[in-house]
Amino acid sequence: MTYNLYIGDRTFSSWSLRGWLMLEKFGLPYRAHMVGLYSGTMQEDLAHLAPAKTVPAMQTAQGHVLTDSLAMAETLTENHPDAGLYPTDPAARALARSITAEMHSGFHGLRGACPMMLGFCWDGFTPTQAVKDDLQRIEELWHLARARHGVNDPWLFGDYSLADAFYAPVAMRITAYNLQVSDQSRAYVDTHLNDPAFLAWRKAALEEVHDPFPYQQPSLDKRPWPGDEN
């Protein structure tokens, strides 16, 4: 059962990163296809996948099309019950599903003000109150998950789960905009930054060329991404 996954530019497409991690981190077979998200060819590239209009999109071996990351997550969970996409413990599973869904539907202040950026970091960003409120809620959820189910482990629920896949771009936003979080949250962010799957994704992202460059921040200076200093 090989999936066809359609993703946008790796440097900026946070939802594409989530979709890719769902397959890559759990060893599920897939073929990745690039879509012209910023080059303007996305609708043409997705024309054969109606009703897909955005990335990520996924096509199953049977030809069924999933046009939303949460729908993808639930379908993969159904198709691969032993892959460990969600925790097996009922309480952990309920919390993991809840915080995954909250990430999917919420945190618009953070997502709007801090587009994902993997090429370098911005220096001098001042978070709005909406960004601060989102970060506070995110940290509450992370701390709750770790306290109940992953206290001695690097991921939220011990083993890597879909919750971690959905919050991976949050870790990238915290890094790119130097957002202030607790030491515990920073350690979780660092776990994402050092994850081999993410490192492979970012390596491919650095090979992309963007002209014009999306999400310019003319009032901010640039600084190297962690690990790129030398």
Residue 166 belongs to domain spanning: 90-202
Do 138 and 166 reside in the same domain of the chain?
yes
Q: For the chain, which ranges sit under pLDDT 50?
A: none
Do 189 and 163 reside in the same domain of the chain?
yes
Do 166 and 128 reside in the same domain of the chain?
yes
Res 229: pLDDT: 78
Task: Give domain status of residue 64, yes or no.
Answer: yes
CATH of the domain at 121: 1.20.1050.10
Three-state SS for the chain is: CCEEEEECCCCCCHHHHHHHHHHHCCCCCEEEEECCCCCCCHHHHCHHHCCCCCCCEEECCCCCEECCHHHHHHHHHHHCCCCCCCCCCHHHHHHHHHHHHHHHHCCHHHHHHCCCCCCCEEECCCCCHHHHHHHHHHHHHHHHHHHHHCCCCCECEEECCHHHHHHHHHHHHHHHCCCCCCHHHHHHHHHHHCCHHHHHHHHHHCCCCCCCCCCCCCCCEEECCCCCCC
Of the residues 53, 79, 105, the one at which a domain ends:
79
Task: Give domain status of residue 211, yes or no.
Answer: no
Res 230: pLDDT: 67
Domain count, the chain: 2
pLDDT digit string, tens, across residues 158-177 = 999 999 999 999 999 999 99
Task: Give domain status of residue 229, yes or no.
Answer: no
Do 108 and 185 reside in the same domain of the chain?
yes
pLDDT digit string, tens, across residues 44-64 = 999 999 999 999 999 999 999
Do 68 and 124 reside in the same domain of the chain?
no
